Every structure is written in C-alpha cells, then in structure tokens.
C-alpha cells in the first residue's frame, strides 16, 4: 500500500511515536463555511465502520482527545468550533486540544493531527483548499489502516472538497433559499403595513470581508429580494461589531431616507439595525429588519417582535453536529444522510412590537430568578 512521503516519515521516524490510545482530532482549517452548493450530503465510498473503531480505555488507559486545528487568521467562527468541541468532548469522556493552522497549511495540519495519534478527523473544508489536501486525507485514512488495522474516520464540515467526490461524510447546512424567501416575504409584509408601498427599497447588510458562507447568505438574500420585486439598493458593508455596523447603517439611511427593508446577514449588524430603528420616531414609518444568524444571539429581538423574522443559520449547531458525527463513526455507530444536514428554519415574529424594550435594554433584562437589581449586561456576542 502506498503512503505519502509525509506519512511514511512518521513510520520511519523513531522519535515520533503514535499514541495507541483512542484520540478524536477535530481539524478546523478554513476561511469560512458555505451552506449552499452542489456538494453531496451522502458519502459515496465511506468505509463501513468496524468494531475496531470503538473508543475503548482498554487499549492503554489513555483518554480520548479532540484536537482542533483552527486558522490563525480569518473569521471568528473558529472560536465557535473550539467552544463547541470543549462543551461536547467532556460529555464523551474525552479531552480537547487546539492546533492553529496558517492559511494554505491545511495538509500539514492534518499530518500533524495524525502524528499526535488521531482516531478521527473533522475537517472544515476551506474556501481555498490546497490541491494536495484531498490526497493528504486519503493518505491519513490509509496510514491508519496500515498502522492500526482500521481506516481513519474522517468527517468534512461546511462543504465538500470537489476532488474527494463524496468519499467522506459531509455535515453541512440545508439550502437557504426556501427560508430566505419566507424571511423576505415577512419583511415585505411589515414594510407595506408601515406604508412603504408595493415596491419598497431594500439593502443587504453584511460584515466583510466575507467568506463562502457570507457570500451564500448575500446571494440568497439578493435572489429572494429580486423575486419579491423590491428595489434592491447597493449592499451596505461594515467590518467589525455593532458600532461599525451602526455607522454604515446611518450612512445608508441618510442617503436613502425611504429605505424600507434591511436584511442583516449576521447578529452584529442585526443588533445595530434594531437599535437604530428603535431610536427613530415611532409615529413615523420605520424600516423592517430580517436576519440570518444564530438563534441565541437573536432570540430576544424575535421575542419582542423587533425584527420581522429570523432564519436560524447557526454555526454552533453545525459544529456540534460535526463533533457528534465524528464520535458516532469513532464508536462504530451508523450515520444517516439525514443526520448530516443541518436545517435552517425560518422564525416569524408576530404580534405588536413591545414598546419600552429597546434592543439595548433587552440585553439587561433580569433572567429567571433574578431581581432587576441583580441583572447584569450580557457580554457582546461573537459575530457568527
């Protein structure tokens, strides 16, 4: 059986010993995630899990370890993957470790994970996958077969890698199109009720520079707005957090006072838009807001009907599903095609907006069991 030079060196190098104990390594080396596309959900040639893939403490008494490889540069989604692993892994009686990958060094990151004794790999497919990455993943699988007598379970997350042709299971989001159409219809209904007419002006707000996932959200919003026959204006971009988003939104409103619909593609822009809208004269018509993003960071805006609706596109859920899938393969449990798809439901806000609850005040509402004096501001959310 042929192995790559890199993996062959592992066999020949006596100074690099492979841990025999079960170790789950989550490799996250990416510039972003994509939720739409033609990647397959069903693995075509995934080796059937065998009993030898089960986690067992009888091997050498070691504890399984999840090692995550995240990019040193890029989006803060990397921290979401790290946090998800740290939450899930202890529940599986495992440990976690983090390895950060430079851009263009995904193959080396995979090799490093195998050197550390990985029992399973999760790779968040990068936007700019290296040409040799597919071969490296195949070599990792075969190297495990040669040295441990079983193939290495590998899970791709976010999207597939074209050169692999569906060889490994892919955990990814379902298409945005249907939920985005429902979101646009909701904002359009609210804008018309506010008095903006049949063909209201709309913008897409994004936090850039964006990755493949960001592009997927922007494209889906544009398609749905176009189909709804809105007047689609130039996108509004910002880089950073709520303060930067607020500056960009205020500039757009100054240039387009009749702006009727704003679609935010992540939570920082959504919070800024909601705050600005709340500060406008409530006796006058105000723009409606639609959001794509994580559930937790946006649920209060939906709860008090401050936004028209919310498409739940939550990287936390995707990360948890990927870790769960890797653990299933490691334990020899079956993985169904349906379990690999993370749905993106649309949540419609309904009823009157709760006046007196501004977006800023919402973050300071007392939690269950607290008195108002005991409530403290929640920390700023990490942009998704």
How confident is the model over 93-108, as pLDDT tens digits? 665 666 667 777 888 9
Q: What is the structure's pLDDT at 378?
A: 40
- Residue with the bigger pLDDT between 78 and 259: it is 259
In contact, 242 and 272? CB cutoff 8 Å: yes
Whether residue 44 has pLDDT greater than 80: no
Whether residue 250 has pLDDT greater than 60: yes
Please name the residue that has the structure tokens 């040193």.
72
d(CA 335, CA 164) in angstroms, rounded, equals 19
Whether residue 380 has pLDDT greater than 80: no
d(CA 286, CA 280) in angstroms, rounded, equals 7
pLDDT band at 196 (very low <50, low <70, confident <90, very high): very high
Equal fold, 5-173+316-342 vs 177-312+354-374: yes
Domain layout of the chain by residue ranges: 5-173+316-342, 177-312+354-374
- Residue with the bigger pLDDT between 82 and 214: it is 214
Residue 150: DSSP 8-state: S
Whether residue 366 has pLDDT greater than 80: no
pLDDT band at 232 (very low <50, low <70, confident <90, very high): very high
Q: What is the structure's pLDDT at 227?
A: 94
Q: What is the structure's pLDDT at 113?
A: 86
pLDDT band at 223 (very low <50, low <70, confident <90, very high): very high
What is the per-residue pLDDT across 114-130, written as a single tens digit (0 to 9) for each?
888 887 888 877 777 78
Q: Does domain 5-173+316-342 have CATH number 3.40.50.2300?
A: yes
Q: DSSP states of 56-94 as a string?
A: -TTTTSPPPEEEEEEESSS-THHHHHHHHHHHHGGGGT-
Cα distance between the two ends of the chain: 43
Q: What is the structure's pLDDT at 124?
A: 79
| pTM across the whole model | 0.74
pLDDT mean over 225-241: 94
Whether residue 42 has pLDDT greater than 80: no
- Residue with the bigger pLDDT between 319 and 169: it is 169
Whether residue 382 has pLDDT greater than 90: no
Let me know the angle formed at the C-alpha of 237 by 232 and 242, rounded to the nearest 5 degrees: 120
Whether residue 21 has pLDDT greater than 80: no
Answer whether the bond into residue 209 is a cis peptide, omega within 30°: yes
Percent pLDDT > 70 in the chain is: 66
- Residue with the bigger pLDDT between 59 and 194: it is 194
Percent pLDDT > 90 in the chain is: 38
In contact, 190 and 291? CB cutoff 8 Å: no
Whether residue 342 has pLDDT greater than 60: yes
Q: Which residues of 54-74 are buried (b: 16+ CB within 10 A; e: fewer)?
A: ebeeeeeeeebbbbbbbbeeb
Q: What is the structure's pLDDT at 350?
A: 78
CATH class of 177-312+354-374: alpha beta
What is the per-residue pLDDT across 69-96, written as a single tens digit (0 to 9) for each?
665 544 445 566 667 666 666 566 665 6
């Amino acid at each position: 059986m042929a192995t790559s030079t890199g993996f062959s060196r592992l066999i020949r190098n006596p100074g690099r010993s492979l841990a025999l104990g079960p170790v789950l390594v989550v490799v996250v080396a990416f510039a972003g995630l994509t939720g739409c596309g033609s990647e397959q959900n069903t693995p075509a040639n995934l080796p059937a899990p065998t009993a030898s893939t089960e986690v067992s403490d009888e091997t050498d008494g070691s504890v399984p370890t999840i090692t995550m490889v995240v990019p040193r540069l890029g989006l803060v989604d990397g921290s979401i993957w790290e946090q998800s692993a740290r939450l899930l892994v202890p529940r599986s009686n495992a440990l976690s470790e983090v390895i950060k990958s430079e851009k263009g060094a995904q193959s080396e990151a995979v090799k490093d994970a195998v050197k550390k004794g990985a029992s399973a790999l999760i790779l968040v497919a990068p936007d700019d996958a290296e040409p040799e990455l597919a071969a490296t993943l195949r070599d990792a699988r075969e190297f495990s077969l040669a040295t441990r007598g079983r193939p290495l379970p590998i899970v791709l997350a976010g999207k597939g890698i074209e050169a692999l042709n569906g060889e490994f299971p892919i955990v990814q989001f379902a298409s945005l199109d249907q939920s985005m159409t429902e979101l646009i219809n909701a904002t359009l209904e609210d804008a018309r009720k506010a008095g903006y007419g049949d063909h209201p002006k709309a913008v897409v707000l994004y936090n850039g520079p964006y990755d493949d996932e960001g592009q997927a959200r922007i494209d889906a919003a544009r398609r749905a707005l176009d189909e709804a026959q809105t007047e689609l204006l130039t996108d509004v971009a910002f880089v950073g957090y709520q303060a930067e988003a607020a500056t960009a939104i205020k500039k757009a409103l100054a240039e387009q006072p009749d702006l009727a619909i704003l679609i935010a593609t992540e939570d920082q822009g959504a919070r800024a838009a909601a705050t600005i809208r709340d500060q406008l004269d409530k006796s006058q018509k105000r723009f409606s807001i639609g959001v794509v993003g994580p559930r937790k960071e946006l649920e209060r805006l939906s709860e008090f009907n401050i936004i028209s609706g919310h498409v739940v596109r939550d990287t936390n859920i995707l990360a948890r599903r990927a870790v769960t899938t890797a653990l299933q393969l490691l334990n020899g449990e079956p993985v169904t095609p349906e379990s690999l798809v993370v749905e993106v439901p649309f949540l419609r806000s309904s009823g009157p907006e709760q006046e007196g609850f501004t977006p800023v005040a919402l973050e300071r509402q007392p939690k269950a069991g607290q008195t108002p004096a005991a409530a403290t501001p929640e920390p700023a959310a990490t942009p998704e």
